[in-house]
Chains A and B, each alone.
Chain A
Amino acid sequence: MAEVTLVEAVNLALNHEMRTDNSVVILGEDVGVNGGVFRATQGLRETFGFKRVMDTPLAETLIGGLSVGMAAHGLKPVAEIQFLGFIFAAYEQLITHAARLRNRTRGRLSCPMVIRAPFGGGIHAPEHHSESTEALLAHIPGIKVVIPSSPQRAYSLLLAAIRDPDPVVFLEPKRIYRAVKQRVEDDGSDLPIGSCFTLREGQDVTLVTWGASVMEAMKAANQMSERGVEVEVIDVATVKPLDMNTILASVRKTGRCVIVHEATRSFGVGAEISAQIAEKALVDLIAPVKRVTGYDTVMPYYRNENYFMPNEEEILAALQAIVHDGE
């Protein structure tokens, strides 16, 4: 069993699935000889050849279109968009085709494809490289959106994404690409898409988050524990379809919920979670739901990006406020 980082776990999963399933192919910019700008596809060209690991011309609309065509015709494309900020040209293919080919043909054609993209702030990247736009994807009917936050979940959820019969966008929090190492067994076992993961149990507050914010959330939860407040931390992991059962069960137990996400606040995934809590568990709430998120602003360039991203102090403050709320 190897100790791997999150990005190495991605590579491990790609390698595993290409080994065991001949229909899996990789395409994208710089995924071949270069192994991806973050090395997620490192070594795959050497192992599987240029027919299965394709450097495309520089064109995201094309990457989207190629993937749809390949997926409809016997391949399982795993496309890389170099940074999530460059996916927008592929939206037309995602929204008007990938997401609805099954529906439009009443099941005759389908799109078992994956689009992987690193996202999020915190690595001092240039403009457009740091945004978290998962809500813009989650709003598309027919697409699944998965965000791992640990090497094990990256490995097993990516396998699940590739095996999924429908299009999955797999967003990789690049701030924690190399933050921790974890033992990951390369045994091909997947984890379910559409399930939250409860990372820490607690009776007092439910803390719901995903992506790189999971690490900040865990730190804040541990601090609260030292102060005698037990926080239940839920990694949403699949933003769409949302596993509200796990979240609602936790909220019914604690009566308090803080949602943390790096993305801009309004119309975000946090808003959806909060709305469903209001619809289904309002009477169980002791205090109003709180959101700790990026602002409704353009994400600042890196000098000031720290002010935009939720951090431990801010989460801690929200947790402290909510435990005193409604008392």
Chain B
Amino acid sequence: MEAVCHFDIKFNRFIDPQGNVVDRLPDWATESFLVSAYQDMVKTRVFDQKAIALQRTGQLGTYPSTLGMEAIGVAIGLAMDKEDVFVPYYRDHATLLKRGYRMEDILLYWGGDERGSLAGMPQDFPYCVPIATQCGHAVGVAAAKKIRGSSNASLVTIGDGGTSKGDFLEAVNVAGAWQLPVVFIINNNQWAISVPRNLQTGAKTLAQKAILGGVPSLQVDGNDFVAVYDATKEALKRAYHHKGATVIECVSYRLSDHTTADDATRYRRSEEVSSAWEREPVKRLQQYLYKQGAWNEHKEQALLKEAQQAVEVAVKRYLSSEPEPAEAMFDHLYAEMPQGMEEQLEELSTKVQRMAAVGKGGSSHG
């Protein structure tokens, strides 16, 4: 028998966990660009910690933290073109902040308010909670781009667990069959709630799942901003030049609980988490910048202060937002309200009054 096909999966990293350069940095990786990326990562983290605190004090709903995954989120946010279409999952706060969301928009969404999804680039998709379903949209968008002769791409994110679903595999398959301008970013944070990566699949990497559709793929160190950005930028370029899709597996770690509703101490060892902290992305880029003389303690303090102030302003705006009128649930159901719905709308108005009379209503965030 002879082998008719060969595959291998490459792993890429430029900066190691201690902030040392292990491979010559690409030309785009200028000091000033990396400083601004670092600032975005820090702002994301400050925001993220505040969101968790809001949930803990009953001022926000269930929230999925992005702690430890900031390099991925910021890198793809910076790599994407304004005209590209972002198709997120639910943990992409860092990227959404680069796509025009304000922090209060993110809080609104997780605070149970549909208006959070008004934000961002008008062509982007909103947060997606049903796992992996966004993958179909991303290839649909890419097909639309191709059919309509646009040179832009779609970029979709998904967790390690999500790659077990047909939605992901089917989308990768069609992306290969149709040579679609789409980039799949796998945020492999090693856990799907309590289920570890090795229980999701017998495959050694998640990147190799792309082989099923004939789509090129690679693994990158997801805690190395430079590696994620470089791979994403390359993949987008391929998409823009009609060279088809790419799957990028970003190997990272979920340093937080799955969401604020989860308690990860039930299922994972604290040693695993503390060793993951040694590889985390924010510290890594900071170390690199320190070593380059591009960053210092003074700048760090100023950045933290600025980030905290920005978060406080956003939180104030969020907390003072009035709930939408209940009747809004009828407003955007169809382009035009079908006949027969007015009766239900009237019923709702009566209900609103009746509830107000006994002091019930929509929830404020306070």
Chain A residues within CB distance 8 Å of chain B: 29-30, 32-35, 37, 55, 57-62, 85-86, 88-89, 124-129, 265, 295-308, 311, 313-314, 317
Contacts and interface: CB of A to CB of B under 8 A. Distances in A.
B362 A30 contact: no
Interface stretch (B1-9, B222-230, B353-361): B353-361
Given A58-B165, A89-B165, A302 B267 contact: no
Given A297-B333, A298-B333, A37 B114 contact: no
A89 B324 contact: no
Contacts of A306: 355, 360-363
A265 B344 contact: yes
A58 B195 CA distance: 9
A307 B164 contact: no
Given A58-B131, A59-B164, A126-B62, 7 more contacts: A37-B261, A58-B200, A88-B130, A297-B344, A301-B109, A307-B355, A313-B354
Interface string B340-355: 0100100110011011
17 contacts: A29-B192, A29-B193, A35-B266, A55-B195, A88-B130, A89-B167, A126-B129, A265-B344, A295-B344, A296-B341, A303-B362, A303-B363, A306-B362, A307-B355, A307-B361, A307-B362, A311-B355
B131 A86 contact: yes
Interface string B255-292: 00000011000110000000000000000000000000
Contacts of A61: 165-166
Contact of A125 (B61, B127, B193): B61
A41 to B, nearest CB: 11
A contact patch SS: loop
Contact of A58 (B164, B323, B355, B363): B164
A301 B114 contact: yes
Contacts of A129: 129
B205 to A, nearest CB: 16
Contact of B329 (A62, A295, A302): A295
B111 interface: yes
B113 interface: yes
Contacts of B363: 124, 302-303, 306
A43 to B, nearest CB: 12
Contacts of B165: 58-61, 89
Contacts of B162: 58
Contacts of A308: 329
B328 A304 contact: yes
Contact of A297 (B110, B127, B194, B330): B330
Contacts of A302: 61, 112, 363
B129 A303 contact: no
A304 B194 contact: no
B61 A126 contact: yes
A133 B352 CA distance: 24
Contact of B61 (A88, A124, A128): A124
Nearest to B268: A33
B86 to A, nearest CB: 18
Contacts of B130: 85-86, 88, 128
Contacts of A60: 165
A167 B159 CA distance: 31
B161 interface: yes
A307 B329 contact: yes
Contact of A34 (B62, B201, B267, B344): B267
B57 to A, nearest CB: 14
A288 B129 CA distance: 41
Contact of A298 (B132, B267, B329, B360): B329
A34 B262 CA distance: 10
Contacts of B129: 126-129
B326 interface: yes
Contacts of A34: 193-194, 266-267
Contacts of B193: 29-30, 34, 37
A128 B266 CA distance: 25
A224 to B, nearest CB: 16
Given A55-B194, A126-B61, A304 B200 contact: no
A177 to B, nearest CB: 13
B326 A304 contact: yes
Nearest to A42: B266
B329 A30 contact: no
Contacts of A89: 165-167
B162 to A, nearest CB: 6
Contacts of B335: none
B199 interface: yes
A86 B167 CA distance: 13
A57 B199 contact: yes
B110 A126 contact: yes
Contacts of A295: 329-330, 344, 347-348
A297 B329 contact: yes
Interface string B86-130: 000010000000000000000001111110000000000001011
B200 to A, nearest CB: 5
A313 B329 CA distance: 20
B217 to A, nearest CB: 19
B202 to A, nearest CB: 10
A162 to B, nearest CB: 24
Contacts of B358: 313
Contacts of A128: 129-130
B164 A32 contact: no
A306 B329 CA distance: 12
Contact of B354 (A126, A265, A314): A314
Contact of B323 (A265, A303, A313): A303
A59 B351 contact: no
A128 B109 CA distance: 13
A127 B199 CA distance: 27
Nearest to A38: B261
Question: Interface centre among B127, B130, B324, B358, by most A CB within 10 Å?
Answer: B130
Interface string B156-177: 0000011011110000000000
